[in-house]
Structure 1
Amino acid sequence: MSDVADRAEWRIAMDLTVACAHARRTPQLEADGYCHYCDEQVAHGALFCNTECRDDYQREQEAFRRAGR
């Protein structure tokens, strides 16, 4: 019979497998020289022009996820 430690180890391995699969499916933003929220030009490698745009973008994406989009 397996003991509690074996079951916990199995559960951790399963959680890591699921988390890695989810991370691979999640699309990542790519820096294209423009803010992903307001389309203003940004510095090389930046995704957003400032923290307000970043926060607004994240709030908008969360609302889309809650709405099932």
Structure 2
Amino acid sequence: MSDIADGAIWRVEKDVQNAMAHARKQPMLESDGRCHFCDEAIANALLFCNVDCRNDYDKEQAALRRTGRR
């Protein structure tokens, strides 16, 4: 019984490691003082001017990934 449990634990750990490695490869947005969706001037620490721009950006990126353009 412990062999099955050990195998399951090993599999879960491998899946977590693979997911983390994949997440690290994803490009990260950097704050540049402009909204990444509408290009409006914003504070340097922010990426988007509001929640709507963030959501629209996420939807646009998801659509690009689905169509294979990103």
TM-score (norm 2): 0.90
- In structure 2, runs of 5+ residues without a counterpart are none
Write out aligned runs for 1:24-35 (5 A): 24-35=24-35
Structure 1 residue 3: Cα displacement: 1.9
The amino acid of 2:17's aligned partner reads T
1:21 aligned residue? 21
- Per mean C-alpha deviation after superposition, the further-off stretch among 19-28 and 29-38 is 19-28
2:36 aligned residue? 36
Runs of 4+ with >3 A deviation: none
Using the aligned pairs only, state the percent identity: 58
* CA distance in 2: counterparts of 1:49 and 1:61, whole angstroms: 17
Q: Deviations over 1:43-67 (max 9, x none)?
A: 1200000111000000000000000
What do you get for the CA RMSD once the two structures are aligned?
A: 1.4
Q: Deviations over 1:1-58 (max 9, x none)?
A: 9622111111111111211210111001000000000000011200000111000000
* CA distance in 1: counterparts of 2:66 and 2:26, whole angstroms: 16
The amino acid of 1:20's aligned partner reads M
Write out aligned runs for 1:4-19 (5 A): 4-19=4-19
1:65 aligned residue? 65
- In structure 1, runs of 5+ residues without a counterpart are none
